[in-house]
Amino acid sequence: MKATKSIDWAALRRDFPILDQQVHGKPLVYFDNAATSQKPRAVIDALVRYYERDNANVHRGIHELSNRATNAFEAARTRAAQFINAASSDEIIFTRGTTEGINLVAASWGAQNLKAGDVILLTEMEHHSNLVPWQLLAQRTGAKLAYVPVTGDEGLLDLSRLDALLTSDVKLFSMVHISNSLGTVNPVAELCARARKRGITTLVDGAQSAGHMPVDVAAIGCDFFAFSGHKICGPTGIGVLYGRSELLNAMPPYQGGGEMILSVGYHKTEFKHAPHRFEAGTPDISGPIGLHAALDYLDAIGRENIWKHDQELANYAYEKLAALKDIRLFGPKKDRAGLVSFLLKDVHAHDVVTLADQAGVALRGGHHCTQPLMHKLGVESTARASFYFYNSAAEVDRFAEVIREIQKFFAS
Ligand SMILES: Cc1ncc(COP(=O)(O)O)c(C=O)c1O
């Protein structure tokens, strides 16, 4: 494997205290990054600093600590806008994560804009969090769901069907940027452009792309983009929903309470503009502060570099696995994101993961919250290795060796 130029990846790895440990007496190989990433010292320190020095409620007090907390909270919003090239920080809503971002759009935009007979277009490779909120909305409104098909094990979208699917009844097209089960990178800019031409609103699920590759919402041309902090070195419990200002300011509130109002009477309330209209109650304050540190950390490495590194690692792992007998690999052979999904013949994915864990290798086995996709592929589950920039080719070698040992164990 070629190392991406001029970056000391081993030094970066040392920024992650958790990685330096043994599991079951073996050095930890953490390959469950698509589920959640580990946190560098810079993020842990930002959280500690906030709680040790600045903790107070935001937007309320006029005392020093409250001002500091508010400034740090709003600085994180500005940084998040810059991170994805939003036109303004007013287009950034802090959420609990991708799931809440999508639920917010479904509850607010969906309730206002969808009626019986309208169609919500999804793809067959969506995570449950970009499926179930739309099913619930469809039940409430009488709207219908339609899907862009997946081609099969190589996990590409069958775009030959797209024009036929983009009918005048389609009001929303919501799509995953990078599939967490397949590693497919969808051409979201093209998909959004084709939808926009027909006046269709678009949402991109960026849970696996933000923080892993350069993301520019203006270049993608989407109306909404959702991602989670915990998958990109930030804390759990914080995420971002980007929405174009024009849409956000026309949408009704998501939840009611303090912070999101201009004035309240016993019978009537006036709401703030976006994004505050969508952030009822005391928000997660340390979350955005930790996220801010994570975004700075990632950009100091460079997302282009992270992307190249992760793709190289995934290609290397794919080649190693493809050289084995009795293995089924999922997702595209070329241009895959930093993960590999596979099944060993006659071995349940959970057994692979359990035995790999005994060897110190943390994988994920299951349906990866994509049950309909698993059914379509005719499997219950897969085993998945997912990478980030602190992983190395040596760890992939160890992982491949462990998989070979597991095969031998079940063959004997
Ligand atoms: C593609 C995709 N979408 C959405 C989600 C949901 O993210 P969260 O659980 O952080 O809300 C995930 C999480 O694994 C994901 O991989």
SS3 (DSSP) at 264 = strand
Residues 6+ apart with CB under 8 A from 213: 178, 185, 303, 304, 306, 307, 337
Q: Order of strands, edge to edge, in the sheet holding 239-243?
A: 92-95, 239-243, 224-228, 201-205, 170-176, 119-123, 144-148
Q: Which tokens sit at 246?
A: 């024009």
Task: Inform me whether the pLDDT recorded for 5 exceeds 90.
Answer: no
Average pLDDT over residues 53-70: 93
Q: What is the pLDDT of residues 284-338, one digit of tens each?
A: 999 999 999 999 999 999 999 999 999 999 999 999 999 999 999 999 999 999 9
Residue from 33, 37, 93, 99 whose mutation best tests the ligand 1 pocket (most atoms within 8 A of CB): 99
What region does 369 belong to: left with phi over 0, alpha with psi -120 to 50, or beta?
left
Query: Of 69, 45, 46, 48, whose CA–CA distance to 59 is shortest?
Result: 69
C-alpha to C-alpha distance for 224 and 222, rounded to whole angstroms: 6
Work out the pLDDT band at 1, boundaries 50, 70, 90: low
| φ, ψ for residue 341, nearest 5 deg | -110, 135
From 369, 370, 373, 386, the mutation candidate for ligand 1 (largest count of ligand atoms within 8 A of CB) is 369
Residue 51 DSSP class? I
Residue 410 has pLDDT above 80, yes or no: yes
The pair of three-digit structure tokens given for residue 194, joined into one six-digit string:
């084709």
CA angle 273, 202, 113 (to 5 degrees): 60
In angstroms, the CA 344 to CA 354 distance is: 14
High-pLDDT (> 70) share of the chain, %? 99
Q: Which atom of ligand 1 is nearest to the CA of 100?
A: 11
Confidence of residue 109 (pLDDT cuts 50, 70, 90): very high
Question: Ligand 1 pocket: which residues have CB below 6 Å?
Answer: 34, 97-99, 127, 129-130, 176, 180, 205, 207-208, 228
| Pick from 114, 86, 101, 296: nearest CA to 206 | 101
Average pLDDT of the segment spanning 202-207 = 98
Q: What is the tens place of the pLDDT at every residue in 149-169?
A: 999 999 999 999 999 999 999
Average pLDDT of the residues in 368-380: 96
Is 369 a residue of the active site? Answer: yes
pLDDT score, position 61: 77
Nearest CA to ligand 1 atom 9: 99
Cα 268 to ligand 1 centroid, rounded to whole Å: 36
CA pair distance 332, 187, nearest whole angstrom: 13
Residue 181: C-alpha distances to residues 49, 124, 249, 307, 406 (Å): 37, 11, 35, 18, 22
What are the start-end ranges of the E strands in 117-234?
Answer: 119-123, 144-148, 170-176, 201-205, 224-228
Task: Determine contact, residues 142/116, Cβ cutoff 8 Å.
Answer: yes
Q: Which residue has the tokens 């009626």?
A: 115
Find the 133 Cα to ligand 1 centroid distance in Å.
13
Ligand 1 atom with least separation from CA of 228: 10
Q: Which residue out of 192, 222, 233, 369 is catalytically annotated?
A: 369
Dump pLDDT digits (tens) for 176-185.
999 999 999 9
At 407, which helix (H) or strand (E)? helix 393-411
- 334 CB contacts (<8 Å, ≥6 apart)? none
Tell me the three state secondary structure of residue 367.
coil
**Can you tell me which atom of ligand 1 is nearest the CA of 96?**
11
Residue 361 structure tokens: 């290798």
pLDDT value, residue 358: 97
Residue 127 CA to ligand 1 centre (angstroms): 7
> Mean pLDDT for the chain?
96
Confidence of residue 4 (pLDDT cuts 50, 70, 90): low
- Looking at residue 2, its pLDDT comes to 53
Measure the CA–CA gap between 369 and 176, rounded to whole angstroms.
13
Atom of ligand 1 at shortest range from CA of 97:
11
C-alpha–C-alpha distance, residues 94 and 101, integer Å? 8
Question: What pLDDT score was predicted for residue 245?
Answer: 97
Model confidence band, residue 259 (pLDDT cutoffs 50, 70, 90): confident
